[in-house]
Amino acid sequence: MATESILPQSPAKAAPTSGEGLKVAIRFRPLSESERQAGAYEAFRRDESCPKRVVVEDSRSGEDFVFHHVFPPTTSNEEVFNSLVDLEPLISGIHTTIFAYGVTGSGKTHTMLGDGRGDEGIVQRTVRALFEELARHSDRRAQGGSTLGGGAGARAPPPWGSALSFSVRVGVMQVYDLGVDDLLAGRPVAIKSCEAVGLLQPAVAGPEDTMALIARGVAARKTAATNKNDTSSRSHLLVRLTLEASPSPDAAGGVAAGTLSRLTLVDLAGSESAEASAGMPNQQQRQQEGAQINGSLLQLQRVFTALAERSGYRAFRGNRLTELLNESLVGAGARMTMICAASPARLARDRDPTLSTLRFARTGTRITIRARRNVVINAEVGRGGC
C-alpha cells in the first residue's frame, strides 16, 4: 500500500483562477417523530416563489435568509448530490471541500454518509462519480480528444493537456478531543503547518476498494448515544481523496505539468447543549466531548466571520478542525461547499438551533475563496500552511 505522496518533492506553483464564493446550501430534514409528538410543525420553509430563500414563520427580526440552494424536507440524497457536486474543478487541480454543518440530529450524517440502509450519501455518490469522471477522461484521451475545458464560457483548460494518468489515494481522519486520529492506521496523527503528517493514504483503483476503506474508517469513528440521536457522532470526520494527474513527456520533449488536488468530505459533529446528554450513561464524558465539539465549532464560526469581514484575523491555529480546513479556505486555494442541515421546526423563540444555523450559513455566503489550480511540475503540490 502506498502511504505518502508518489510524486517527487519540489516547489509547486499555484496557478490563480478566479475567486469564487463558498457555496452554501440549507437542507431541511423531515420533522422527527418526537418533534411531531411535541406538536412541532414546519416553521422554517423554502420560499416557493423564491426557492433560494428561507421563510421563517412569525419572524419578528425581519432577517432575510438567501442561499445558493434551499432543499425542502422532501429532497433526496440523490437530488442534493446532483445539485451540489461538481468534480470538474477537482480534476483540473483545484482542492475541493464539501462539508455538512448543523446541530446534533439535524441530518449531517444522513446527508454525508446516507441512511445506512441503501440510500447512499454524498461521500459514496461522490466516490462513484469521481471514478466515472476519470474513466470518461481516459476514454476521451484514448480517442485523442481534449479531456476538459472547451465550449463557450468553459474554465481555463488544465495545464496537463491530454497526456497524463490519474491516481487516487484515500485517507480517513477524525478530530476528537483536541487531537486527530488516523482511522485507517488506528493511531493519532500530528498536525504540522495545518497538514496531517504521515496520514495513511492507500492507493485505490476504483469505487469498491475506496468505499471499503472509508467504511473501515467510519466504523472506527467515535459515536455515542445522546438524547438527540442514538448514534451521535462525537468527532468530526474527514474523508480525504487525493487525486494526482501525473504528467508524461510532452510532444516537444519537455515535461508537461500535472496537478495534485484533494477532495475533502467532512461530516462535522453537531453542536449541542449540555441537556443533550443529561442523564445518559457516561454523562460527564459526553458533556466534556460536547464542550470540545462546541469549542471547535465556535472557532470555525470565528474563522468564517473573519473571512466574511476580511478582517485579517485568521484564527486557524490551535484548533485541529480549523487547521485541517485551512487549506480549503485560504491556503492553496479551493472550492468549498457547505451543507447546513437543519430541522424545519421552531424549537425556541430566542436561541433556536435552526435560526443559529441559518445565521452561520449566511456568514458563509459572504466568503470568497481564491481557487488556484495546484500545478505540479514533476513535483508535489504546494502546501497550504497557516
Ligand X SMILES: Nc1ncnc2c1ncn2[C@@H]1O[C@H](COP(=O)(O)OP(=O)(O)O)[C@@H](O)[C@H]1O
Q: Of 17, 96, 97, 109, which one interacts with ligand X (CB under 6 A)?
A: 109
Asked whether the beta carbons of 105 and 62 are under 8 A apart, the reply is no
Nearest to 126 by CA among 81, 66, 156: 81
Query: Please, which residue, 68 or 110, has the CB nearer to ligand X?
Result: 110
Q: Please spell the DSSP secondary structure of 296-327, one letter per residue.
A: HHHHHHHHHHHHHHT-S--TTTT-HHHHHHHH
- Which residues contribute to the annotated binding site? 102-109
In whole angstroms, how close is the CB of 40 to Mg ion at the nearest point? 20
Judged by beta carbon distances under 5 to 8 A according to partner kind, the member of Mg ion, ligand X, none in contact with residue 167 is none
Angle among Cα 334, 114, 221 to the nearest 5 degrees reads 75
Judged by beta carbon distances under 5 to 8 A according to partner kind, the member of ligand X, Mg ion, none in contact with residue 110 is ligand X
Q: Which residue is nearest to Mg ion (CB)?
A: 109
- Which residues contribute to the annotated binding site for ATP? 102-109
In whole angstroms, how close is the CB of 115 to ligand X at the nearest point? 5
Identify the residue whose cell numbers are 451521535. 232
Q: Could you give the CA distance from residue 200 to residue 187 in angstroms, rounded to a whole number?
A: 10
Query: Please, which residue, 78 or 139, has the CB nearer to ligand X?
Result: 78
Judged by beta carbon distances under 5 to 8 A according to partner kind, the member of ligand X, Mg ion, none in contact with residue 138 is none
Q: How many CB atoms lie within 10 A of CB 269?
A: 28
Q: Which stretch binds ligand X (CB under 6 A): 106-114, 179-187, 239-247, 370-378?
A: 106-114
Work out whether 29 is an interface residue with ligand X (CB under 6 A).
yes
Helical spans, DSSP H, in 119-160:
122-142
3-state secondary structure of 251: coil
Q: Of 69, 95, 110, 137, which one interacts with ligand X (CB under 6 A)?
A: 110
Asked whether the beta carbons of 314 and 386 are under 8 A apart, the reply is yes
Q: Residue 65's beta-bridge partner residues?
A: 54
In whole angstroms, how close is the CB of 185 to ligand X at the nearest point? 25
| Sign of CA pseudo-dihedral 75, 356, 179, 309 | positive
Q: Could you give the CA distance from residue 286 to residue 297 in angstroms, rounded to a whole number?
A: 16
Q: Could you give the CA distance from residue 111 to residue 378 in angstroms, rounded to a whole number?
A: 38
Helical spans, DSSP H, in 13-121:
33-37, 77-84, 88-91, 108-113
Judged by beta carbon distances under 5 to 8 A according to partner kind, the member of ligand X, Mg ion, none in contact with residue 353 is none
Judged by beta carbon distances under 5 to 8 A according to partner kind, the member of ligand X, Mg ion, none in contact with residue 165 is none
Work out whether 30 is an interface residue with ligand X (CB under 6 A).
yes
Q: Of 102, 171, 353, 382, which one interacts with ligand X (CB under 6 A)?
A: 102
Judged by beta carbon distances under 5 to 8 A according to partner kind, the member of Mg ion, ligand X, none in contact with residue 242 is none
In whole angstroms, how close is the CB of 29 to ligand X at the nearest point? 3
Phi, psi (deg, nearest 5) at residue 24: -120, 125
Q: Between 190 and 209, how does the x/- string for binding to ligand X read (CB under 6 A)?
A: --------------------
Q: Which stretch binds ligand X (CB under 6 A): 11-19, 91-99, 101-109, 197-205?
A: 101-109
Nearest to 196 by CA among 334, 326, 56: 326
Largest pairwise CA distance in the chain = 72
Work out whether 108 is an interface residue with ligand X (CB under 6 A).
yes
- Give the total residue count for the chain: 386
Work out whether 115 is an interface residue with ligand X (CB under 6 A).
yes
**Would you give the DSSP letter of residue 386?**
-
Judged by beta carbon distances under 5 to 8 A according to partner kind, the member of Mg ion, ligand X, none in contact with residue 169 is none
Q: Residue 174's beta-bridge partner residues?
A: 181, 237
Q: Of 174, 233, 337, 343, which one interacts with Mg ion (CB under 5 A)?
A: 233
Q: Of 96, 109, 124, 162, which one interacts with Mg ion (CB under 5 A)?
A: 109
Work out whether 341 is an interface residue with ligand X (CB under 6 A).
yes
Work out whether 290 is an interface residue with ligand X (CB under 6 A).
no
Which residues of the shown chain bind ligand X in the complex (CB under 6 A)? 29-30, 32, 102, 104-110, 115, 229, 232-233, 270, 341
Binding site for Mg ion (CB under 5 A): 108-109, 233
